[in-house]
Amino acid sequence: MKKYDVIIVGAGPAGIFCAYELVKNRDDLNILILEKGRGMDKRKCPKHTNGGKCVHCKPCSITTGWAGAGAFSDGKLSLSPEVGGTLPEYLGVEETIKLIKYTDEVYIEFGAASDIHGETLTLEMEKIRKKAIEANLKLVHCPVRHLGTEKAQELYRKLYDYVTKKGVEVHFNCAVENLILDGDKIKGVKNGKGDYFADLVLVSVGRDGADWLMKECSKESILTEVGVVDIGVRLECRNEVMKEINDNFYEAKLVHYTKTFDDKVRTFCSNPGGFVSSEYYDDNLAVVNGHSFKDFKSDNTNFALLVSQKFTEPFKAPIEYGKHIARLANMLTNNQILVQRFGDLLRGRRTTSSRLLRNNIIPTLKDAVPGDLSLVLPHRIMKDIEEMILALDKVTPGLASDETLLYGVEVKFYSNITKVDNGFQSTSVENLYLGGDGAGITRGLMQASINGVVIAREFLKKL
């Protein structure tokens, strides 16, 4: 079997930008990318032409394939070191800021829009910040470059053309099954199609591959530590309710520490004029998400409300914990997404189809099943979400309306955090580098992309 200079497992933003940075600097390298899913042009979701019904493709084209789940996300680039991961803990704030600028310029080169939302704090934005402070909310200033789902896919196609023309091999439908180690050194990877060898390996499998990665870490005694578990709902309201925030910030990052439990709740992935969506994982597990297009808009805004829990020993299974809660929701809905009106949640009753029809808000997720989130989410998380919505209502009045929709559940499958050095090399296995969301290091497009750039530069030192 051919030996490569570098093997990259996973063709999400971290893997793509690692390959980009390598071939930009060296045109003589043999680089292989192994991807579980399909190429961009074959990432078609039958649900979009099937009356909104998922047919459970394996692997799922929404969560796997070239550009990873990011290809079907809202396509937002968060231009603040405070948002999207923990890179400043490894690189420092100043270096992270420099890398944001560098990576953002690459995105622009490949077609990202030039406009940035919320770059300068205006008087109106300062008024919103004041209201947030009065409501015990922290407003994180984070300029955003919005790609849009369809524009993001075009951009990542161009990156595919660039790296493959430079000689990078990309094998789709080629899920890696095991790492090949020789003592404490990586030698390659294997799957049902054969063994692939390289002295330098990056594993950047994204959230869809996080469970597999943690099992490999456990089997090979690769050190990890328990990460944060993020569980919550996706809120949907009319655009009119969010107009002030949408117009001034596009996406306002708001954090609240609840009165009852002092838990951290945050807004995440806001989609003005967007659409609530479902995504499915390998065991047909349905979780809710959201996205928006650059040119095609709905009458609604959606965003996630996520409760962050940091568990202590002996807890070691954040992914399984999140899946367990998602399975409860799936059990009630025949593997669909559950939706409940906020007013019904406050009154302790399930939402019915007839109550849903009263709303000014028309759900953008057409196959969501009306139900009761209190039968799914732990009381503590439900209370945290309720308090967060009431706090947000002081900033953007109308959000705590009876008809505001809550879809459940939203779970971010961040794995245990792999223990790596400041260059993202495993502290357990030499020449094995771990990056992206699947390694528990990043939580979004920009920081995952930066992670790939940094690892590529580490590889170049050794090649």
Domain boundary among 412, 432, 453: 412
| Residue 133 covered by a domain | no
- Per-residue pLDDT tens digits for 334-352: 999 999 999 999 999 999 9
| Residue 107 covered by a domain | yes
Produce one character per residue of 318-336: b if its CB has 16 or more CB atoms within 10 Å, e if not.
bbebbbebbeebbebbebb
Q: What is the mean pLDDT of residues 301-308?
A: 96
Among 349, 347, 269, 283, residue whose Cα is nearest residue 320: 283
Are residues 442 and 407 part of one domain? no
Is the pLDDT assigned to residue 51 strictly greater than 60?
no
> What CATH code is carried by the domain that includes residue 68?
3.50.50.60
Bridge partners (DSSP) listed for residue 178: 190
Are residues 390 and 315 part of one domain? yes
Domain containing 170 equals 3-112+147-225+417-462
| Residue 138 covered by a domain | no
Q: What is the mean pLDDT of residues 61-81?
A: 82
Are residues 363 and 321 part of one domain? yes
| Residue 118 covered by a domain | no
Produce one character per residue of 373-392: b if its CB has 16 or more CB atoms within 10 Å, e if not.
beebbeeebbbbbbbbbbbb
Q: What is the mean pLDDT of residues 156-169?
A: 97
Are residues 236 and 198 part of one domain? no
Domain boundary among 376, 396, 412: 412
Q: Report the pLDDT value the prediction gives residue 408, as an integer from 0 to 100.
A: 92
Are residues 151 and 189 part of one domain? yes
Domain boundary among 372, 393, 412: 412
Among 147, 143, 150, residue whose Cα is nearest residue 250: 143
| Residue 184 covered by a domain | yes
- Per-residue pLDDT tens digits for 427-462: 999 999 999 988 989 988 999 999 999 999 999 999
Percent of the chain with pLDDT over 70: 96
Are residues 250 and 207 part of one domain? no
Residue 374 has φ and ψ, to the nearest 5°, of: -70, -15
| Residue 137 covered by a domain | no
Q: Report the pLDDT value the prediction gives residue 183, as an integer from 0 to 100.
A: 93
- Taking all residues of the chain, what is their mean pLDDT, rounded to a whole number? 92
Are residues 421 and 342 part of one domain? no
Are residues 290 and 213 part of one domain? no
* Residue recorded with tokens 């829009």: 113
Three-class SS state of 264: strand
Number of structural domains, the chain?
2
Are residues 237 and 217 part of one domain? no
Are residues 387 and 456 part of one domain? no
Are residues 203 and 306 part of one domain? no
Q: Report the pLDDT value the prediction gives residue 164, as an integer from 0 to 100.
A: 97
Are residues 104 and 205 part of one domain? yes
| Residue 125 covered by a domain | no
| Residue 363 covered by a domain | yes
Q: How far is 124 from 144, CA to CA, in rounded Å?
A: 17
